[in-house]
Structure 1
Amino acid sequence: MLKIQEIREIIKLIDQSDIEEFKYEHEGAKIVLKKNVHAPVQQVTSAPIAAQPTFVQQAPVQPVSAPEVAAPAAQPAAAEQSGVDNANLHTITSPMVGTFYQSSSPDSPPYVSSGSEVKADTVVCIVEAMKLFNEIEAEVEGEIVEVLAKDGQLVEYGQPLFLVKPR
């Protein structure tokens, strides 16, 4: 039987992934996890629609136009910042949800650190998912500029782990 902590970890992994349904059976115990991704989106969409007539009646233009103007202005600024930061650097991202480890064991030195030279097939870290340890390779030749994740940290799919200055 699964322990409570293992069930919680499964729930987190399912919640952060695209999986909509998960079933597990073992020795008569059964766990079924389902998530409905579309329902919350519809509820969020319907809330502003219901609220808009109230705002329009109280103040016809100001409350409705202020959020619309502020949101688009913030998005290009964020896009510009990320474009400048990553222009000359390659980002190594997590291919899965799991726990980030810089070394193969707590007593071992980290695979890489800032200033380390890497080749495309150099192992830079391990991401543990569901008790499976997955070695992550650099996929580019260059120098590690920055380690973005901390040892033992839970990482998400696509989360940046390292910045590499390519050769």
Structure 2
Amino acid sequence: MKIQEIREIIKLIDQSTLDEFSYESEGTKIKLKKKDKSSVSTTGAAVESSSITVQTPVVEAAPVQVTETPKETVVEKVEVVVEDSSLHKITSPMVGTFYQSSSPDAAAYVQVGSKVSTDSIVCIVEAMKLFNEIEAEVNGEIVEILVKDGQLVEYGQPLFLVKSV
């Protein structure tokens, strides 16, 4: 199991209401437990940390414990974006993979500074092998692209910020 896969599992468990999660496959065991939610950051937002124990059938290998905590800078950035009401958010209508262009060798649909209209295609979200074109739904200019090409996105996650005209 790759470290990126473990990080994705941590994020999913951290966002869920589960308190404990166990996974075993091909001799690899992962056990996740959420800690007490009583710790508070300096900004007043609750911070949780998850601990992971990974055990693999490697000789002379002890269980590895990794503790990750959310980074406060990400929370602060989100707060700044949410407070700017003059910008329109183009959000993902589904869970899937974000693509900026129709193929890896094609140019991106939009870039920062691109003018868009209500029916302009701004990206593709691939879900279950179906490529869904996402439209701007507003006239304006792309101010910021909030996700990277190939990144997994959630339902309702902001993808672009558009300055309406």
| TM-score normalised by the chain length of structure 1 | 0.55
Look up the match of 1:148: 146
Inter-CA distance 39–103: structure 2 relative to 1 (3 Å threshold): closer
Per-residue Cα deviation, 1:141-160 (whole angstroms, up to 9, x for no partner): 00000111111111111111
Aligned to 2:44, the other structure's residue is in SS state helix
> Identity rate of aligned residues, in percent?
58
Inter-CA distance 129–115: structure 2 relative to 1 (3 Å threshold): same
State the one-letter code of the partner of 1:163.
L
Q: 1:88 aligns with which of 86, 89, 101?
A: 86
Q: How many residues are treated as equivalent by the alignment?
A: 113
State the one-letter code of the partner of 2:160.
F
Q: 1:113 aligns with which of 97, 101, 111?
A: 111
Work out the CA distance in 1 between the residues paired with 2:154 and 2:44. Answer: 24
Q: Give the number of the structure with larger relative contact order, counting CA–CA contacts within 8 Å between residues 6 or more apart.
A: 1
State the one-letter code of the partner of 1:165.
K
Look up the match of 1:124: 122
Unmatched 5+ residue regions in structure 2? Answer: 21-32, 46-74
Q: 1:157 aligns with which of 155, 158, 163?
A: 155
Q: After TM superposition, list the pairs within 5 Å mapping 1:17-166 onto structure 2.
A: 40=19, 70=40, 74-75=44-45, 81-84=80-83, 86-166=84-164
Which portions of structure 1, spanning 4 or more consecutive aligned residues, are displaced by more than 2 angstroms? 37-41, 77-84
Whose helix fraction is larger, Structure 1's or Structure 2's? Answer: 1
**Deviation, structure 1 residue 113:** 0.4
Aligned to 1:163, the other structure's residue is in SS state strand
Instruction: State the superposition RMSD in angstroms.
Output: 3.4
**Deviation, structure 1 residue 126:** 0.2
Q: Greater Rg, structure 1 or structure 2?
A: 1
| TM-score normalised by the chain length of structure 2 | 0.55
State the one-letter code of the partner of 1:88.
S
**Deviation, structure 1 residue 80:** 5.9
Work out the CA distance in 2 between the residues paired with 1:135 and 1:117. Answer: 17
Unmatched 5+ residue regions in structure 1? Answer: 1-7, 17-36, 49-63
